[in-house]
Structure 1
Amino acid sequence: MISPGWLLFIYCVLVVLASLAGGLLPLLVRLTHTRIQLATSLVAGLMLGIALLHFLPHGAEQLGSLHRTVAWVLGGFLAMFFLQRFFHFHHHDLPEGDPDDCCQHGEHDHGGQGHVHHEQTLAAKSAKQLTWVGTAVGLTLHSLLDGLALAAAVLAGACAEHEVTGLAGAGVALAVILHKPFDALAIGTLMTVGGHSRFSRHVLNGLFALATPIGAGLFLVGMSQFAENNPAFLGCALAFCAGAFLCIACSDLLPELQFHSHDTIKLSIALLLGIGVAILIGQFEHCHEAGHDHVHRHDPAQCADPGHRH
Structure 2
Amino acid sequence: MMLWAWIFLSVLLVSLLSLISIFFLSFKKEFLHKLMAFLISFAAGALLGDAFLHLLPEAVEEAGFTLSLSLTLLAGIIIFFILEKFIHWRHCHIPASKEHPHPFAWMNLLGDALHNFMDGLIIAGSYLTSIPLGVSTTLAVVLHEIP
Q: Which TM-score tier does this pair reach, normalised by the shorter chain?
A: 0.5 to 0.7
Residues 38-77 of structure 1: pairs in structure 2 closer than 5 A = 38-53=38-53, 60=59, 67=68, 71=72, 74=75
When the two structures are superposed, what TM-score results if normalisation uses the length of structure 2? Answer: 0.53
> Structure 2 vs 1, CA of residues 173 and 24 (structure 1 numbering), >3 Å: closer, same or farther?
closer
Q: How does 1:244-259 map to 2 (within 5 A)?
A: none
The answer for the alignment partner of 2:25 in structure 1 is: 26
Structure 2 unaligned runs (5+)? none
Structure 1 partner of 2:137:
168
1:1-310 superposed matches below 5 A: 6-7=6-7, 10=10, 12-27=11-26, 29-31=27-29, 32=31, 33-53=33-53, 60=59, 67=68, 71=72, 74=75, 78=79, 82=83, 85-86=86-87, 88=89, 124-126=94-96, 130-131=101-102, 134-143=103-112, 144-145=114-115, 147-148=117-118, 151-152=121-122, 155=125, 166-168=135-137, 170-175=139-144, 177-179=145-147
TM-score (structure 1 length as normaliser): 0.31
**The structure with more radius of gyration:** 1
Change (3 A) 1:168 1:74: farther
- When residues 81 and 51 of structure 1 are mapped into structure 2, their CA distance, relative to the original with a 3 A threshold, is farther
Identity of matched residues, %: 19
Write the distance in 2 (CA, Å) between the matches of 1:169 and 1:69: 32
What is the count of residue pairs matched by the alignment? 138
One-letter amino acid matched to 1:178: I
- Output the CA distance in 2 between the equivalents of 1:169 and 1:80: 31
RMSD between superposed Cα atoms in Å: 5.0
Q: Per-residue displacement from partner, 1:179-236 (whole Å, max 9, x unpaired)?
A: 4xxxxxxxxxxxxxxxxxxxxxxxxxxxxxxxxxxxxxxxxxxxxxxxxxxxxxxxxx
With over 3 angstroms needed to count, the CA separation of the structure-2 counterparts of 1:15 and 1:30, relative to structure 1, is farther
Higher RCO (Cα < 8 Å, 6 or more apart): 2
